[in-house]
Amino acid sequence: MTIRPLFQNRTDAGRQLAVHLERYADRSDVIVLALPRGGVPVAFEVARTLHAPLDVFIVRKLGVPGHEELAMGAIATGNVRVINDDVVEMLGIDQKEIDAVAAQEQKEMNRREREYRGDRPSPAVDGRIAILVDDGLATGSTMRAAVIALRQLHPRRIVVATPAASAETCDEFREEVDEIVCAATPRPFYSVGAWYEDFAQTTDSEVHDLLERAGSHSGPATAGREMAR
């Protein structure tokens, strides 16, 4: 079966996704949070369209040893760990293996915090509408960890937004967040990358550049930063 991509690249995906979020444009209480690295180019286009500030929310997938592309869970800032029990039980993965992978991913998560944010403080989300963006949702474990961690920061509303997701995962999130926006839910889903013509890995330098560009012209939503302090 030949798959016809829905998006040229992450920039195109972000522009298409932004159309579904236009009701949040020009609001001082909105902030767009990207899951790096792949979510950043998508979220940059969303933030630019909405005239909202952009920041990153760091999460790391816990890949199955030897089959790292398969997620057995994820970790996020705030000592949050989400485990995909179905995968763990099916493959007989023990706690020691999970802890070892989590410790390694924690190091990378700490590095990314320093690389992307530098001396800037974590984004102020208390009382705001937080739009969490990634380039796609397959099992949703990484996004689920982000949602749990973000909720600890007391946003008024959590919106999960993605260009492409499996229909099942999209439906599951309806029970977990205030709003889920999936621009496309193709069946069968296959994988996130299948729906992109260009799904090349986003680099750290690209993430840094996009965050710098977003910070230099965040528009009227800058006032929301002051309000949330």
pLDDT tens for each residue of 15-48: 999 999 999 999 999 999 999 999 999 999 999 9
Give the angle 168-170-174 at the CA atoms, nearest 5°.
115
Residue 2 lies in a domain: no
Residue 76 lies in a domain: no
Residue 30 lies in a domain: yes
Estimate the crossing angle of helix 204-216 against helix 39-50, to 10 degrees: 10
Identify the domain containing residue 178 by its residue range.
10-59+119-228
Give the tens place of pLDDT for each residue, 138-167.
989 889 989 988 998 899 999 999 999 999
For residue 55, the domain's CATH number is: 3.40.50.2020
- The residue type found at 39 is G
Residue 86 lies in a domain: no
Predicted TM-score (pTM) of this structure: 0.82
User: What pLDDT is recorded for position 3?
Assistant: 79
Q: Is the pLDDT of residue 122 over 50?
A: yes
Q: Is the pLDDT of residue 104 over 90?
A: yes
Q: Is the pLDDT of residue 216 over 70?
A: no
Average pLDDT across the chain, whole number: 90
Residue 71 lies in a domain: no
Residue 166 lies in a domain: yes
How many structural domains is the chain composed of?
A: 1
Residue 158 lies in a domain: yes
Residue 103 lies in a domain: no
From residue 77, how far is each of 52, 82, 109, 151, 197 by CA, in Å? 22, 12, 8, 11, 31
Distance from chain centroid for Cα 32: 10
- The residue type found at 172 is E
Q: Is 36 exposed, middle or buried (0-12, 13-18, 19+ CB in 10 A)?
A: buried
User: What pLDDT is recorded for position 218?
Assistant: 53
